[in-house]
Amino acid sequence: MDTANDVMPYVTAAIGAYGVAVLAKTSELAADTQIARGTRILQRVFGRGDAYSRLVIGRVADAKPDDEPSHAALKLAIMEAFQVDPYLAREVAAMLPRAAVAASAERPVAVGGDAARAEAPR
């Protein structure tokens, strides 16, 4: 499973809707929309945002929808956050709709620690 790829449609939708203010957005977070989910993911990954994460989000907000370099920079920042905190990728994957996670799963995913494993659908 490539969680960084899976979150991109959600986080780019949230950035498109709110721009750099996405990290401070608090209203409508309970909604089950693509934008609300992307906002929650960005806030979980970046918190209130350091200067670098705000810069990356700002580049995506200012870019055209098909601007690959800015999207690649955002994906890289998300992947770096996952490397710093190994549990973060699992937490974020759990925030995705079940269908998106199942569709991208290619190997077993740890659930509830090392003892329990959920097999990817085949």
CB 27 within 8 A of CB 117: no
> Is the pTM for the entire model greater than 0.75?
no
Q: What is the pLDDT along the chain (122 residues), one digit of tens a residue?
A: 588 888 888 888 888 888 888 887 776 666 678 888 888 888 888 887 778 888 888 888 888 777 888 888 888 888 988 998 889 999 999 988 876 444 444 444 443 343 333 444 43
Instruction: Write phi, then psi, for 74 (nearest 5 degrees).
Output: -65, -45
